[in-house]
Chains A and B, each alone.
Chain A
């Protein structure tokens, strides 16, 4: 998306309910700014994120997708984030092969106490995605208005 001639990436962030969503709330409570480009979708656990959701986001024109969950060992559901880690390692390498640069996808562990880490992660990620420019690889042109 271009705003005032400047490229503004669309970024979807999946946050688990127990750690990362609370971490994002804490970033808000502490007024730690991060770009508006990031839109958060709440999921109960990072392991709820089906690779299909990520493909769908890229197909619909997202420029980057980030997944945030509890730190390994801290998952509310004991093992959910381990599934996420494995699934996403596979998916991201496949996406990289398809031409979705690996900088456009990311898994990050953010605890409920890490508001600052959340904001910092989003700042870095948005910057990295913005540097890559628009994602055209998986974009479905039929979805364009």
Chain B
């Protein structure tokens, strides 16, 4: 039997004005288990807390009920008070008689009656409370960043800067991501490579950072502070430690007809390749799908020309196992496929391109060496039409595009239009838009410059159809403000394709048990207050894998995620929430209902020895809750058909006792 003390707070007149506090403490005096009951003006004050401490000592209390304000306000205070007096802090219950009683009711008798009932419910609950101790788990002081774009690079650099080792896993042969493919960046128009590649070099030179390029995460186990990760290092058939990145092999390889993904297939590369000049690590990779030697066993040119002897046709995929304390997802984005947008004739004409392709066309290292030409005939385009929101804000055609705004297109289109007019003043540039959205530092000024200084024709309205006619593209569009149809004879059409999360994000989310929204963006723990944490403890989000973002935003989020990781890795031990699920092994029949509803993957199965009545032992599989992972939602307790699952602090018996007390 518990020895319970009840402490009723007046909260000045906040409670005492509507609730007869003396009547409440008198009424609760007679409840089962209550050995002491009192009231005081301000329980949360030092004097009030001393009353509680003294009563715990004097009456050897094993549990206390404080009838006061909301537990969201002072539960922590009274738990500390109890702990200071040697009582387990989880033996404290609060009856909320201020926010949920005195403040919402006017009438003294009914208010008092309700306060008594709420007090009785709290007493009934405390009678069934058990001391709880938060679990502790060690922290592996190493972080994993998945994705080596600007988001992953920034996160890794910041974590490494704080002194913790970081591994970057990048599926491509080099880090750099989408930013490496860009030409200039808005709104300052500095060249992407000039600001990105020094960071890539920093990553390569940082002693705390290891880069696993051409690698993918194979398996994730464990939990916050203790993740066990298997990384598949794909065979690149080149010994990374020996290759000097001289590039002779990439010039001599006879297989010349491989679409160059770095230039979005607008030119070709060899079967052995280095994606771009500033690649990190600067190591050649053999594309096994195209290499004649790997396919037929006849060739070996690269091996012959490699003076370092780095080519190794027998290389196999390698599995690396490592432990991590925190994982950051930075998987990035891709433009959506234009296959479903027949109206823009993307698949019919080479001169209808996406904005990312335009980026490559204007880049000095791109397929046309930076000269803006039509991909079909290499001629200079005189009329260029930019189409905004291709697949973005597409609520009516969700099967084709995306409902959301891709956020970056207005700005990069303004950039493209401005740069085109700047370099080629003889071109006519049209931009068709639904709305121009330019919130951001110096963004609207940038857009206005495109219109006012550079004379870009911004037309509110959508393009209905693009039809190739001869070597021209006939663009049919509506001008909503002038209320008329337009027919433009264009040389080049640039589509601002919506962006979507990278395809690797969904399987990764499953491995991490991190949740995703309907668009496959990772969900954050709280949309406003915890934007860089995933709801899964120890998993953090960096960059566009969480939602569309431009570079400044991506970098801020990447640094924010790094700060969260550093905060986690700086701890030697993690203290958990003790109000977690627990399974009664004797009652569990391994139906796995609990495992299926658990959003955190906190439930595993263990083999447990049971002593049978005939003194034999039998091994049986039972559900077991990982207390470091469980967040204490209680979904499993309801799903469990045998009643084996219960939630500490909110046990079935406790809630039933509260229900009974209220309905009494």
Contacts and interface: CB of A to CB of B under 8 A. Distances in A.
Interface stretch (A38-46, A93-101, A102-110, A125-133): A38-46
B664 interface: yes
B642 interface: no
Interface stretch (B203-211, B301-309, B399-407, B647-655): B647-655
Nearest to B98: A28
Contacts of A80: 599, 633-635
Contact of B650 (A44, A73, A74): A44
Given A48-B647, A78-B515, A28 B113 contact: no
Contact of B105 (A21, A33, A41): A33
B637 A50 contact: yes
A137 to B, nearest CB: 14
Interface string A73-95: 11011111001000100000000
B293 to A, nearest CB: 49
Contact of B634 (A31, A39, A43, A61): A43
A41 B634 contact: no
B535 interface: yes
A12 B658 CA distance: 10
Contacts of B103: 28-29, 31
Contacts of A12: 659, 662-663
Nearest to A47: B635
A8 to B, nearest CB: 9
A10 B96 CA distance: 18
B404 to A, nearest CB: 14
B174 interface: no
Nearest to A10: B663
A67 interface: no
B656 A119 contact: no
Give chain A's interface residue range (CB within 8 Å of chain B): 35 or more
B533 to A, nearest CB: 12
A12 B664 CA distance: 12
B455 interface: no
With most chain A CB atoms within 10 A of its CB, the pick from B99, B517, B658 is: B99
A141 interface: no
Contacts of B96: 25, 40
Point out which of B72, B632, B647, B663 has the most chain A C-beta atoms below 10 A from its C-beta: B663
B633 A44 contact: yes
Given A49-B638, A57-B659, A39 B117 contact: yes
Contacts of A51: 638
Interface in B114-128: 114, 117-118, 121
Contacts of A45: 633-635
A7 interface: no
B100 A33 contact: no
A27 interface: yes
B647 A36 contact: no
A69 to B, nearest CB: 11
B631 A77 contact: yes
**How many B residues are at the interface, by size bracket?**
35 or more
B503 interface: no
Contacts of B435: none
Interface string A4-25: 0000001010000000011011
B220 interface: no
A12 to B, nearest CB: 6
A115 B96 CA distance: 16
Contacts of A22: 72
B77 to A, nearest CB: 16
Given A12-B662, A24-B99, A50-B638, A34 B599 contact: no
Contact of B659 (A25, A47, A53): A53
Q: Which of B650, B660, B662 has the most CB of A within 10 A?
A: B662
B579 interface: yes
Contacts of A57: 659, 662-663
B590 interface: no
A113 to B, nearest CB: 11
A120 to B, nearest CB: 12
Nearest to B652: A50
B247 interface: no
A24 B650 CA distance: 19
Nearest to B518: A73
Contacts of A32: 104
Given A28-B98, A39-B121, A56-B656, A79 B104 contact: no
Given A10-B662, A24-B99, A33-B106, A79 B599 contact: yes
B48 interface: no
Interface in B91-149: 96, 98-101, 103-107, 110-111, 113-114, 117-118, 121
Tell me which of B71, B101, B633 has the highest count of chain A C-beta atoms within 10 A of its own C-beta: B633
Contacts of A40: 96, 100
Nearest to B579: A44
B662 A39 contact: yes
Given A44-B634, A61-B663, A80-B633, 16 more contacts: A12-B662, A25-B70, A25-B72, A28-B98, A29-B99, A36-B101, A36-B113, A41-B662, A42-B71, A43-B634, A44-B579, A48-B655, A56-B656, A60-B664, A62-B662, A79-B599
3 interchain residue pairs of minimum CB distance: A28-B99, A48-B634, A60-B663
Interface of B: 70-72, 96, 98-101, 103-107, 110-111, 113-114, 117-118, 121, 515, 517, 523, 527, 535, 579, 597, 599, 631-635, 637-639, 647, 650, 652, 655-656, 658-660, 662-664
23 contacts: A24-B100, A27-B104, A28-B98, A28-B103, A36-B110, A45-B634, A47-B634, A48-B633, A48-B638, A49-B638, A50-B637, A50-B638, A52-B652, A56-B656, A60-B659, A60-B660, A60-B664, A77-B633, A78-B515, A79-B597, A79-B635, A80-B633, A80-B634
